Amino acid sequence: MPTSTRPHRDATAPAPLSGRAAAAVLAVILLAAFMELLDATIVSVAAAAIAADLRAGEAALQWIVAGYTLAVGAGLITGGRIGDQFGRRRVFLLGLAAFLLASAGCGLAPDPGALVGMRVAQGLGGGLMIPQVFGIIRASFEPGARARALGAYGAVLGLASVAGPLLGGVLVEADLLGLGWRAIFWVNVPIAVVGLIVGARFMPESRAPGGARLDLPGAALAATAAVLLLLPLVQGREWGWPWWGFALLALVVPVVALFLARERRLVAAGGQPVLDPALLRVRAFAGGLSASLLFFGALGSFFLLLSLYLQLGTARTALETGLVILPYAIGSIITSGIGVQLAHRAGRALLVSGALVLAASQLVLLLVVRDGADPSYRALAAPLFLGGLGLGLTAPSLINVVLAGVPAKDAGASGGVLTTVTQIGNALGVAVLGIVFFARLEDSMAGGATGRIAYGDALTAILPWQAICYIAAAALMFLLPKRANAPQA
């Protein structure tokens, strides 16, 4: 009997989707991805309104942004493996339901503490939901349709980056049903309800064959280290920098050491850790982790602090603030497609160029806002558009270029760790650069400055540090491979 040449399909994988079912499943996962990224950016424009309505302090505003990104990162650590083991459809819908309930909780939050808690819950839901997207696309679509689905996914991410600041401004300004800033969270609810109904109807179940046991203790230690690092940094000024805050910071070192020791033992026993410590000896991976931490640390704090300057310093409305930030998103869309297409030929050069362009944009913006100037829309749009061009050259291709220098067997785990580090970098940037911003703001106000002068001083205090982060990231990128792996269908 002749041997079949047809490729083997795992018993846990569904038959490829087509027609209405394929369109419905793709729409659901794209809407989920859109919501998750939207909620990472939309809050920055609403921060001033939230602060005024809930009397939220500086630390609360930082946690509203950083708590979400940190929780997404914590969910990403194990979210993909949970889906592989228990079913991607089941975990995706569970994450979407959690995101829905947490969004409603954010919309109902009576005080800053409740809002921060609901933002963390939102992030955990997103961290469960988003890792399933690629698994569902791989398992549910034929190669040609899979490539189109991934292209649509990239386009949706670009659209979300544009829509975040703009939609946030529109919703806050419109004050729909008297909801004010709360509308930015309530808008998720009907979208998520439709996603749950359609997903439950059309989305097939799939699992990875022979799924490994979850490294929950390792994930818990990693999350603990991140919280011990961020908590005293964000709360330190409100606490008055007590000795026990520094003690919490010092605890990060033994917790990280315990994490690495556990991961080494797990590898020796044949398990699958959150992070194989041997990867830290791979030059591309270590360099990529460090570059990502610096790059996304500078980026994560920027929009929150810029929005506070624009609204509380220059008296722009939320909508006007969203329109000011719009050129940044447009610049990113213009170059992101170019960056992805050329990454397999000139990946490292593109990354370095993008990081340096971002550094230049921060320095140009510094010239625009220094000396208490009241910059026009055009004056602000130029450096922001330049920054967007730099972001599009770097962010979409960074992980793929790093993974080109990692052994193929470790690519999946390495990609998950790198994605998590980008979220931690975002949160860390909000914490550290927030300290600089609010300390300078307080000093300026104590010296008699108000409004535009004080917030301008605060913004000019962080812009050089952001430029330094981008330059340092560019230097570390020279440790990466010259090009990414060629794209596959």
Supply the pLDDT for residue 4.
38
Name which of 73, 33, 41, 39 is nearest 292 in CA terms: 73
In a domain, 23, yes or no: yes
CB 300 within 8 A of CB 427: yes
The answer as to whether 226 is a domain residue is no
- Final residue before a domain boundary, out of 178, 207, 236: 207
Please state the domain count of the chain: 2
Domain end (from 162, 190, 207) = 207
pLDDT tens column, 240-295: 888 888 999 999 999 999 999 999 999 888 888 888 888 888 888 899 999 999 99
- Span 350-408, pLDDT tens digits: 899 999 999 999 999 999 998 777 889 999 999 999 999 998 888 878 877 887 888 77
Instruction: Say what the pLDDT of residue 10 is.
Output: 45
Looking at the fold, whether 200 and 280 belong to one and the same domain comes out as no
- In angstroms, the Cα distances linking 322 to 319, 328, 401, 477 are 5, 10, 32, 31
Residues 481, 353, single domain; the answer is: yes
Q: What is the average per-residue pLDDT within 96-120?
A: 95
How many residues make up the chain in this entry? 489
pLDDT at residue 115, as a whole number: 96
Is 430 within a domain? yes
Instruction: Answer yes or no: do 63 and 164 share one domain.
Output: yes
Assigned domain for 82 exists? yes
pLDDT tier, 197 (very low <50, low <70, confident <90, very high otherwise)? very high
Res 17 pLDDT > 60: yes
- Containing 474, the helix (H) or strand (E) segment is helix 451-476
- At residue 151 the predicted structure's pLDDT band, cuts being 50, 70 and 90, is low
115 vs 238, more confident: 115
Average pLDDT over residues 215-238: 86
**Is residue 9 a part of any domain in this protein?**
no
Does 220 map to a domain? no
Average predicted confidence (pLDDT) for the chain:
85
* Enclosing domain of residue 159: 14-207
- Of 170, 189, 196, 31, the closest CA to residue 122 belongs to 189
Tell whether 304 and 180 lie within a shared domain: no
How far apart CA 29 and CA 133 sit, in angstroms, is 6
22/210: higher pLDDT:
22
Residue 245 included in any domain: no
CATH code of 23's domain: 1.20.1250.20
Task: State whether 190 and 288 are in the same domain.
Answer: no
Provide the pLDDT for residue 87: 87
The per-residue pLDDT for range 290-339, each reduced to its tens digit, is: 999 999 999 888 988 999 999 999 999 999 999 999 899 888 888 877 77
Confidence at 162, pLDDT banded by 50, 70, 90: low
The answer to which of 131-145, 163-177, 247-261 has the lowest mean pLDDT is 131-145
Q: Is residue 328 located within the same domain as residue 203?
A: no
Annotate 189-214 with DSSP letters as a single string: HHHHHHHHHHHHHHPPP---TTPPPP
**Residue 184 near residue 169, CB atoms below 8 Å:** no
Summarize the confidence of residues 24-41 as an average pLDDT: 87
- CB-CB neighbours of 407 under 10 Å: 12
Residues 472 and 331 both lie in one domain? yes
Enter the pTM of the model.
0.85
Tell me how far apart the alpha carbons of residues 436 and 439 are, in angstroms, rounded to a whole number. Answer: 5
Same-domain check for residues 162 and 288:
no
What gap in Å lies between CA 41 and CA 384, rounded to an integer? 15
Is 445 found in the same domain as 364? yes
What pLDDT band is residue 177 in, cutting at 50, 70 and 90?
A: confident
203 and 343: one domain?
A: no
pLDDT at 486 over 60: no
Nearest one of 249, 220, 222, 247 to 233, comparing CA atoms: 249
**Residue 440, pLDDT score:** 92
pLDDT value of position 154: 65
d(CA 402, CA 423): 17
- Residue 253 belongs to some domain of the structure: no
Read off the pLDDT of residues 456-465 as tens digits, 9 standing for 90 and up: 999 999 999 9
Last residue of a domain, one of 180, 207, 234: 207
* Of residues 451, 477, 481, 424, the one with CA closest to residue 72: 424
Task: Please tell me whether residues 418 and 299 are part of one structural domain.
Answer: yes
For residues 167 and 316, membership in a common domain is answered with: no
Of 157, 156, 165, give the one whose Cα is nearest residue 184.
Answer: 165
How much is the average pLDDT of 86-105? 94
pLDDT, residue 8, reads: 40
**Best mean pLDDT range from 4-8, 136-140, 145-149:** 136-140
Residue 226 confidence (pLDDT): 86
Question: At which residue do the structure tokens 């000139």 appear?
Answer: 346
Q: Average pLDDT for residues 133-155, to the nearest whole number? A: 74
